[in-house]
Amino acid sequence: MDNIVEIELCEPAPFLFGENGHLGVTDGTSVWIVAVTREAMIATADPPEASLKRLVRYADLYRDMAEAMLTRGEAQDGKIWIFEKDIIARRSPRRSGFDRAEARPRPPVRTSDG
């Protein structure tokens, strides 16, 4: 049985390098870079787009996909790659893309006000 790995977004903040998007994720001990290919960003939702805005909007989805890949041992040299084929395999056949609500819900952020 696989050990379940839970990760959170961390530094570095999402950025584009070349044609690919990159996100930092951590389990509290290690940090990995999630590389989302241009083709994967385009396949995520309509209209087709590969931009920093798309990367940030779907960061929770990409994080959840990376979490599953880490659990399966698919990280290589500190990087987790998300390709177009991964997006297509996860996408529901009834829709053309993902809703941000599909990502794992997060607990509310606590403030100093209570």
Low-confidence ranges of the chain (pLDDT < 70): 1-2, 92-114
Is residue 76 a part of any domain in this protein?
Answer: yes
The whole-model pTM stands at: 0.78
Q: How many domains does the chain have?
A: 1
Query: Which secondary-structure segment (H or E) carries 87?
Result: helix 84-90
What are the b/e assignments for 9-27, b being 16+ CB within 10 Å? Answer: beeeebebeeebbbbbbee
Output the pLDDT for position 14: 96
Output the pLDDT for position 109: 43
Is residue 74 a part of any domain in this protein?
Answer: yes
List the domain range (segments joined by +) for residue 25: 8-91
Tokens of 54: 């798309």
Is residue 96 a part of any domain in this protein?
Answer: no
Q: What CATH number is attached to the domain comprising 83?
A: 3.30.160.140
Is residue 113 a part of any domain in this protein?
Answer: no
d(CA 78, CA 68): 15
Is residue 67 a part of any domain in this protein?
Answer: yes
